Structure 1
Amino acid sequence: MPGQVSIIDIIKQQIKKEESLPVLSPKAMAIQNEAIKEAPDFEVLSRLIRTDPTLTGQVLKTANSPFYRGLGGVDTIKDAVVRLGQDEMVNIIMKELHQKNFRSSHPVIKSYQIRLWNHSVSCAIGSLWTVKYLSMDELLPKAFIAGLLHDMGKLYLLTAIEKIFQSKTAAFKPPPQLIDKILDNLHSAMGYNLLTKWHLPVTYRIIARDHHTDEYDISDMLLLIVRLVNRVCSKIEDNSSKTDLSGIISSKEADILGMTEIGVAELEIALEDARTKRPM
């Protein structure tokens, strides 16, 4: 195989197979499709949620969390919808539905998935925080989802790489350094493809495709927010004293959004705080 087929070719061949596509079950797809509508029918959504015990449990757990303590107990999905509100309800649903694709049994792939999921949730939290901070209320329904799904192309690639690891015919198993390079170079295009296959709105597909590109639509405020938050999250994850916020503060995204040095610093603090409170 060496000299004939590259590892990139092997991965692209694997991606063409439907078995390498991270899937949403028909039930999960139905829940997602209703949740992301501009005006979800919460009677329909409640019925769909009740068919998924895990999702039902997570919704009720959140509605009865310490944040809502003092409002009395909630034991039905209908009451949980009223308590949580539309945006929070949809965010919980999307997080729970997509986390199910991050459960590989392969130790190498699992380690990547854990880091990817934590990064995705941080970007979701950070994007929502930034939208609120900038008072861009029209973006509130989309901010968390945009941050959560922006790197799903990496999940697509990891699923394909896992199949290669499991294959008895593949002569080459990519080492971690090569996996990192593959994820960095290919995930944006793969993210666009995956979100298209999942029938997600074009807003989220464009963010998955353009969150690293040099040329992008500077009028797309949600894209700008995800790009900025993604950089802050990466800076935190780098965990190096050599990295600071100066490049982010002086970035085009921060300038267009009007995110001051104080704003970016407060975003970092909010993300650090959320990171310490979230189970890893």
Structure 2
Amino acid sequence: MPNDTTKRYALEDDRILPTDELKKIIKLELSKWLSSDKDADLPMLPHIAAQAVVLMNNPQSSITEVAQLLEQDQVLAAQVIKLANSPFYRSIKDVTTLSRAILVIGLRSVLDLIFSISLQGKVFRHPRYSARMSALWRHSMGAAYICREIAKGINANVDIAFLFGLLHDIGKPLIIDTLTKLSQKNPDQISLKLIDDTLLDEILDEFHCSVGGLIARKWGFPDKLRMAIVYHHDPLADGKVHKGALVTGLADLFCHRFGIGVPPVDRDFSDHPWLQPLGIDFATYLALDEQLRDETQAFLEQFSF
């Protein structure tokens, strides 16, 4: 009787490929791709998301410009107006125009949402892994909200914090897309049918930070955002303090604690070594824990996953 490490899968033509061999092939292909310094296979930033980034980077951006961007996508515009009327924003009167919706939600927050929803439709989609992609998207949006709230609490840069959380796991859907392309290119060696959840999780965990760093570079994001993505699991790497990665890593921990897009982890991390460099003491941690649990769920309820 084979054990888990020697379990074998039959290919459609009845040849046998050991799990360990399949793992080696996949990791070798991904490593070659990462070391090639070629990013031609990485997706372009969606058009509307790219326009949102331009407006984010311009401190003189106006409500009129943001409204004009929304008018390019009526579905997106309707979502923003719906969100402005949701209990989360508690508008005093009904919101019926884009300009009013932008005032209620906030100009930067609307740009974050435009970027997020545009990205969801282009990147967080896969016919074979729809449930996984939905969970990844929920986790990313939850981390984005929590990053922004942590940044507010420690007087850090709030504007970019939302993107820290939103993009911290962006490597995962891109790896899944790359595996799909590899399986189409080399069907005799790599088949999605042979990649079970355990193997896929191992691959995603090992490579997602590096792939995320690649896409951040291709999309032209600032280095502090790329560093937050690359180091969010090890923000004290090399004895350095990567503050953006600390905020992102802490948001990721809260998401796991609250079960946002992942199974909940019943663990108190009030003594975690990432708190002190951010100036978060025990009382502040407890306040964040209480605030974020309900607020993040309320924020996520406004979206479809």
TM range (shorter): 0.7 to 0.9
Alpha-carbon displacement from aligned partner over 1:189-228 (angstroms, at most 9, x marks no partner): 1001111112222221111111123516755433221111
Q: 1:185 & 1:70 partners in 2: Cα distance?
A: 44
Gaps of 5+ in 1: none
Q: Partner of 1:8 in structure 2?
A: 27
Q: Among residues 135, 160, 183, which one is paired with 1:115 in the alignment?
A: 135
How has the CA–CA distance of structure 1 residues 133 and 204 changed in structure 2, closer, same or farther, with 3 Å as cutoff?
same
TM-score by length of 2: 0.76
How has the CA–CA distance of structure 1 residues 240 and 192 changed in structure 2, closer, same or farther, with 3 Å as cutoff?
closer
Alpha-carbon displacement from aligned partner over 1:102-122 (angstroms, at most 9, x marks no partner): 12111xx22321221121111
- Does residue 73 of structure 1 match 2:91? no
Q: 2:188 & 2:288 partners in 1: Cα distance?
A: 44
- Does residue 98 of structure 1 match 2:119? yes
Alpha-carbon displacement from aligned partner over 1:135-179 (angstroms, at most 9, x marks no partner): x1x512122121111111112111112334556724333222111
How has the CA–CA distance of structure 1 residues 68 and 230 changed in structure 2, closer, same or farther, with 3 Å as cutoff?
closer
Q: 1:143 & 1:105 partners in 2: Cα distance?
A: 30
Q: Partner of 1:140 in structure 2?
A: 158
- Does residue 171 of structure 1 match 2:171? no
1 or 2, which has the higher helix percentage? 1
Identity over aligned residues, as a percent?
Answer: 24
Q: Partner of 1:203 in structure 2?
A: 224
Pairwise CA distance, 1:76:
2.3
Number of residues of Structure 1 aligned to a counterpart in Structure 2: 273
Q: Among residues 244, 262, 267, which one is paired with 1:222 in the alignment?
A: 244
**Contact in 1 for aligned 2:232/2:245 (Cα 8 Å):** yes
**Contact in 1 for aligned 2:147/2:162 (Cα 8 Å):** yes
Report SS of the residue matched to 2:45: coil
What amino acid is aligned across from residue 28 of structure 2 in structure 1? D
Q: 1:166 & 1:39 partners in 2: Cα distance?
A: 46
Q: Among residues 82, 89, 98, which one is paired with 1:61 in the alignment?
A: 82
How has the CA–CA distance of structure 1 residues 264 and 195 changed in structure 2, closer, same or farther, with 3 Å as cutoff?
same
Larger CA Rg, structure 1 vs 2: 2
Q: 1:265 & 1:170 partners in 2: Cα distance?
A: 53
Alpha-carbon displacement from aligned partner over 1:229-261 (angstroms, at most 9, x marks no partner): 2122223336567x422xx32233201112223
Q: Partner of 2:289 in structure 1?
A: 268
Pairwise CA distance, 1:14:
7.1
What amino acid is aligned across from residue 119 of structure 1 in structure 2? H
What amino acid is aligned across from residue 9 of structure 1 in structure 2? L
Q: 1:67 & 1:133 partners in 2: Cα distance?
A: 20
Q: After alignment, is 219-228 or 49-58 more displaced? A: 219-228
Pairwise CA distance, 1:269:
3.5
- Does residue 125 of structure 1 match 2:145? yes
**Contact in 1 for aligned 2:213/2:229 (Cα 8 Å):** yes
Q: Among residues 254, 267, 291, which one is paired with 1:244 in the alignment?
A: 267
Alpha-carbon displacement from aligned partner over 1:41-83 (angstroms, at most 9, x marks no partner): 4433321221012221121112222344453222222222223
**Contact in 2 for aligned 1:63/1:83 (Cα 8 Å):** yes
Gaps of 5+ in 2: 1-16
